[in-house]
Structure 1
């Protein structure tokens, strides 16, 4: 599909565009990528394989700017990504996408924005800003999940804490890497090494870079918050273990002298005093020892 630049993005037929040869955005799939690049006058020497895309990056070539986008899907941040190539020369933009994600973005731009694509710079700004538009909302959702987990820790509802926290940390780490890549990509566009963009419009890419920077800072903050929640959970676990150890220590301290007494009087030596009728005395001694231990523990506020 071809969209003409202008105040509004207008889809046109190939014959109509070829008759006018006006600047346009080409959206195609990998199977027709070479044909579309040739129609746009772009030469790309490397192989176009969308499944090999693993990063968001920019490659400045002599004839064009070639970029890849690897965008996490909001509902499955760890496992699923939208992958696409985009190419820019002095007049045209070519987007290679097998999932129609780019077409959905363009339709959203057509519905939401008054100035949709008067220039290449403005179109790229709208395109990148559109697929990043819901990220702030997504990070707020992560923050709410962490807040609920912190409340669960304070209320000692920690049965599934680790199973809930680990995916959140992994997803946030994944998003941090993604925003770092987007910062580098937008800065590369702003540097305009090939001179394909007008200097007065480079501010669009600076705005995108600032947005990616803010999103990454928010993600880093959430990672730190997740670590604090984990430390609070660990502190509660340690306190619970210390309480259990303290209880076991009290029991051991009480029963150790009792064990010594019963062991001593259980040897049954022939000349042992109290061998015949010492049972009440041993019972009394044991009770006295228990009371002394309890008094000491109370005084030291152990129990």
Structure 2
């Protein structure tokens, strides 16, 4: 657990977290804690038992906003895209008048990337910190969306160039990830709408309008994932069409080969009969002549098929 006093975006480490109970003369306290450290924070800041239970739960938490007299409890999901798999990681936030507490089970990249923004903007209030943190979380969805779109484009190119059975498994897995994420975005949009429209005393009225911009971004993200879902459907159709095309190509080759061998089979069938008076059967060079005839017929039919683009 790290306790920082934030003044105009500048961090000062505080050794004893109990100092954060008393409001500072200027700035605010940022307490970055793991879920296991909540037990020591709960009595100091009056955190509700159910909120602590939500943080400790290993089950996936629904994004939400809970309003209490002295603080707000916010749950929002951070997104990661590793090894072609999408992960959502809960970011639990307690917002007070002079402090903000972030509680995570795994590392959240946005907590690290927001620090330069705080310094650049000279952030001095916890609600402004909350805005920039949530803005970073939502912006990261755009980055993941771009990676998914790139993966879809790459899959489409691979399918058109050379279809493999593994492509179908990739399509199914990616589609299930997109549908699952699209479903998870619904509660996230509701949370951002509440931060924008709800009467919240711990968030400046003017700042709440900026949450409206984040909500619009969340709507755009949801629409983008709807588009990705449709593109995945098109990919599956392209995969099936490619397989059907390959099957037709193989059947065309087999049909052409069968057609070429039909006259050859006819010739060998006639001269393979147990009849003595076949024309030319008793000539010395008859076998070589038949082989030559078969070769000429086979080559001639092959070039005929090539000329007509049947092969």
TM-score clears 0.5: yes
Please report how far the alpha carbon of residue 215 of structure 1 lies from its aligned counterpart in structure 2 after TM superposition: 2.7
Which residue pairs with 1:32 in the alignment? 37
Write the distance in 2 (CA, Å) between the matches of 1:117 and 1:75: 34
The question of whether the paired residues in 1 share the 8 Å contact of 2:55 and 2:103 is answered with no
Give yes or no for the alignment of 1:72 onto 2:93.
Answer: no
Give yes or no for the alignment of 1:111 onto 2:143.
Answer: no
Superposed, 1:254-273 pairs within 5 Å as 254-269=260-275
Write the distance in 1 (CA, Å) between the matches of 2:189 and 2:280: 88
Give a deviation string over 1:231-282, Cα, whole Å, max 9, x none. 5565455444433321210111222343244334433157x65495495797
Give yes or no for the alignment of 1:124 onto 2:143.
Answer: no
Write the distance in 2 (CA, Å) between the matches of 1:188 and 1:99: 26
Give a deviation string over 1:194-244, Cα, whole Å, max 9, x none. 776555443232222112222333344345445545655654554444333
Please report how far the alpha carbon of residue 26 of structure 1 lies from its aligned counterpart in structure 2 after TM superposition: 3.9
Q: Size of the alignment, in residue pairs?
A: 299
Give the 3 Å change call, closer, same or farther, for CA 301–15 of structure 1 in structure 2: closer
Give the 3 Å change call, closer, same or farther, for CA 292–73 of structure 1 in structure 2: closer
Give the match's secondary structure for 1:42. coil
Q: Could you tell me which runs of 5 or more consecutive residues in structure 1 were left unpaired when the two chains were aligned.
A: none
The question of whether the paired residues in 2 share the 8 Å contact of 1:254 and 1:290 is answered with yes
Give the match's secondary structure for 1:86. strand
Give the 3 Å change call, closer, same or farther, for CA 48–21 of structure 1 in structure 2: farther
Say which is worse superposed, 27-36 or 133-142, in terms of deviation. 133-142
The question of whether the paired residues in 2 share the 8 Å contact of 1:56 and 1:68 is answered with yes
Provide the TM-score with structure 1 as the length reference.
Answer: 0.70
The question of whether the paired residues in 2 share the 8 Å contact of 1:109 and 1:126 is answered with yes
| Aligned-residue RMSD, C-alpha | 4.5
